[in-house]
Amino acid sequence: MQKKILVVDDKAELRTLLKSYLTQEGFQVVVASDGQEALFVARSEKPDLILLDLMMPEMGGYDFMRVYSREAETPVIILTARLEENDKVLGLELGADDYITKPFSMRELTARVRAVLRRLEKSGSSPDILRAGDLSVDRIARIITVAGQQVDLTPSEFDLLVTLMAAPGRVFSRLELLDRLQGTAYEGYERTIDVHIRNLRTKVEAEPARPHYIETVYGVGYRFTTQA
């Protein structure tokens, strides 16, 4: 099935270029020029993935994510000309799955898009229901419950939790987890994993500062543990 991508950027030339290139790559593409228009388009078109600029008039990318992330779990790849680490971290904390810094090559962008979509398909392909203590994960319905209460995770948080839960006791390095999320190894941004883990703990741990399930293995990475 043809995947639909929403391109959100205030530069008309870039929107046109991205729409043309991604259409040639087999995607259906819809566009918006700012966050406010993107909300309208996303709500009506239900895209499979959003390419989102951060710095836009009217409503910027950060504000769009704050609103739309409460309505849908659509994966987001940030398009940013800003190089500051804090900008990237904030985007990830708001639920972005990846980022790419302008200027970028179309080949790299397409590879990132396909990687995010591919890992979503993989994570949803297994019928297994994972359980540990009061935590339950339905991999088909992509539903997480903690003590019987459903919690909302971003696509990256969901896939990270499934990766860890499916191999309890195994220590994953940050690079391994980054590779699992991106679908292909590249010179990644390891702090991405730390941000996702912190967000994940606030949603599934009774005491995020003293996690029971998602354990830090200092100097190495993370593992899922069910020990008392």
Structure confidence by residue, pLDDT tens digits, 131-184: 888 898 888 788 899 988 899 988 888 989 998 988 888 888 888 888 777 654
Q: Is the pLDDT of residue 125 over 80?
A: no
Question: For residue 186, what pLDDT is reported?
Answer: 43
Which pLDDT band holds residue 41 (cuts at 50, 70, 90)? very high
Average pLDDT, the chain: 84
Cis, peptide link before residue 103, omega less than 30° from 0: yes
**Residue 125 in 3-state DSSP?**
coil
Domains annotated on the chain, with CATH: 4-122 (3.40.50.2300), 126-224 (1.10.10.10)
Instruction: Give the whole-angstrom CA distance, residue 76 versus residue 120.
Output: 12
Question: Residue 30 pairs with which residues in a beta bridge?
Answer: 6
Q: What is the percent of the chain with per-residue pLDDT over 90, rounded to a whole number?
A: 36
Q: In Å, how far from its chain's centre is CA 34?
A: 20
* Neighbour-count burial for 24-38, b at 16+ CB within 10 Å, e otherwise: eeebbbbbbbbbbbb
65 touches 85 (CB < 8 A): no
